[in-house]
Amino acid sequence: MMSPLIAEFLGTTILILLGNGVVANVLLNKTKGNDSGLIVIAFGWAIAVFVGVFITASISGAHLNPAVTLGLAITGDFAWSQVGAYMIAQLFGAMLGTTLVWLMYRPHYENTNDPNLIKDTFCNAPAIDNKFSNLLSEVLGTFVLVYGVLHIAGAAVGDTPASLGALDALPVALIVLGVGLSLGGTTGYAINPARDLGPRIAHAILPISNKGGNDWPYSWVPVLGPFLGATLAALVMNFIG
């Protein structure tokens, strides 16, 4: 049986492969799904979460997201000693997943001249650049996700360590779908620090045709926002339930 760290790495790889894959399908030129819009992206990401959670739930608890790992640690349902290793596995899984998307869609990257569209297939960017509003969007979106996950996993202080089971994959996916459809129009709803940072690093180092800058001045928002949202969700879980 594979180790929890390998499961987190592979699960996050598949999450980003399918998640950024649907973004590439919608945004890149000459794809079958070109210009099919946010609704397709939101459903694609929800299915990506479903698949990632389903295949890793029984092994690692299917965090696949440093914000989820942090939230479980704050509620006392995940060992702090494992937090760093889980987050590193998730980050590298995200980098591999987005690299596979680039390899698969490489001819379409070569036929896409807009560097912003190319970057958007890797990492997030705000619809309107307002750091306070952008940060608030990520905090609220992640709060909904992590608070929902904590309830689904049965996380509460004093319980045995919580984890997601395979049957929890669908409700978690539905939460992500809801966040995407309702709250995703402002920043693209990273709600996962590894989901943005890993692909942003990959975008910086891969020899991608027609790419532009990496927008590092914005990169702290989809990292800090999810961590703040997860912390808030865990505190609410601890004190209110």
Please state the pTM of the whole predicted model: 0.95
Q: Which residues of the chain have pLDDT under 50?
A: 155-161
C-alpha distances (whole Å) from 223 to each of 175, 184, 192 are 20, 16, 7
Q: How many helices (H) and strands (E) does the chain have?
A: 10, 0
pLDDT at 160: 41
pLDDT at 214: 96
Per domain, the residue ranges of the chain are 4-239
DSSP string, 4-57: HHHHHHHHHHHHHHHHHHHHHHHHSTT-TTTT--HHHHHHHHHHHHHHHHHHHH
Residues in the chain: 241
pLDDT tens, position by position, 77-109: 999 999 999 999 999 999 999 999 999 999 999
pLDDT at 2: 86
On whether the 4-239 domain is CATH 3.40.140.10, my answer is no
pLDDT at 163: 62
The rounded distance, in Å, linking the Cα atoms of 17 and 30 is 19
pLDDT at 153: 81
What percent of the chain is helix, strand and coil (3-state, nearest 5)? Answer: 70, 0, 30
pLDDT at 162: 56
